[in-house]
Amino acid sequence: MEKEKHRLSRLTQIVTQLQSNKLVTARTLAEKYQVSVRTIYRDIRTLENSGIPIVVEEGRGYSLMKGYNLPPVMFTEGEANALITAEHIINKNKDRSLVENYENAITKIKSVLKHSQKEKIDFLNNRIQYREQVENKNTSKYLMSIQTCITNFQLISIRYKSLENNVTNRVIEPFAIYNTQGNWLLIAFCRLRKDYRSFRIDLIQNIIVQNEKFEPHKITLEEYFLQCQKKTLHS
């Protein structure tokens, strides 16, 4: 009985995973749920037999048929609490566009919660305070638009003011973003310097998203950081 409960829970989570990603491999699912690849194959067949339209792309993975919508996701109490806790952390973020978009998203999420969950969330909301970041100022507002440009491979023109107060105009190919010491940084290929550069997003004075697109970068974020480490060692 307990084994069957675990399997039903895994099947539900697999469907959610398929809905959240374009393609998911059997190996990825097997590692995530700590079962064999053969077990995932059986799970996929079970879901297909139950009427879930799963598309199989040989050698690439699984996805849900385009246009197929599942009923609203129900959150466990722990999951709902995690979202509310994250709300307090994100509200302290320095990028205003992230704060505003998360506020809109969490409002939609709250709308599908059960009444009993909403009461508990409201109670918990008044019992959480995030005070790690002393300075609570929004110093940037471009994070969300930059993320969109990364996924759409769109060129960006920026006006950038360095920490030394040098102002330059750059055309860049946005590659990735990361956060360190409370600051968001954009990694991009700078066409002015003809190399990858890091830009603190709060030092970007202005952004113009161009219609022109660029070729996707051939390296991964991990490979980029490895390259940076090698340059540091040889400098």
- Report pLDDT for 72: 63
- Other C-beta atoms closer than 10 Å to the C-beta of 56 total 12
- The correct CATH number of 2-64 out of 2.30.110.10, 1.10.10.10, 3.20.20.140, 2.40.30.30 is 1.10.10.10
Count CA atoms within 13 Å of residue 62 on its CB side: 24
Distance linking the first and last C-alpha atoms of the chain? 61
pLDDT digits (tens, 9 = 90+) for 49-103: 888 889 888 888 998 888 776 666 667 788 888 888 898 888 888 899 999 998 8
Residue ranges of the domains in the chain? 2-64, 77-125, 143-234
pTM for the model: 0.66
pLDDT digits (tens, 9 = 90+) for 96-147: 999 999 888 888 777 777 778 888 888 888 888 777 655 557 788 999 999 9
Each residue of 24-45: b (16+ CB within 10 Å) or e?
bbbebbbeebebeeebbeebbe
- The correct CATH number of 143-234 out of 1.20.81, 2.30.30, 1.10.10, 3.90.550 is 2.30.30
Sign (positive/negative) of CA torsion 109, 111, 113, 119? positive
- Report pLDDT for 201: 95
Q: How would you class 204 by CB atoms within 10 Å of its CB: exposed for 0-12, middle for 13-18, buried for 19 or more?
A: buried
- Report pLDDT for 156: 97
For the chain, give the secondary structure using H, E and C. CHHHHHHHHHHHHHHHHHHHCCCECHHHHHHHHCCCHHHHHHHHHHHHHCCCCEEEECCCEEEECCCCCCCCCCCCHHHHHHHHHHHHHHHCCCEHHHHHHHHHHHHHHHHCCCHHHHHHHHHHHCCCCCCCCCCCCCCECCHHHHHHHHHHCEEEEEEEECCCCCEEEEEEEEEEEEEECCEEEEEEEECCCCEEEEEEHHHEEEEEEEEEECCCCCCCHHHHHHHHHHHHHHC
Position 59, amino acid: G
- Report pLDDT for 223: 92
- Report pLDDT for 224: 92
Averaged pLDDT for residues 154-176: 95
Q: What is the mean pLDDT of the chain?
A: 86
**Percentage with pLDDT > 70 across the chain:** 92
Distance CA(14)–CA(117), nearest Å, equals 24
- Report pLDDT for 27: 92
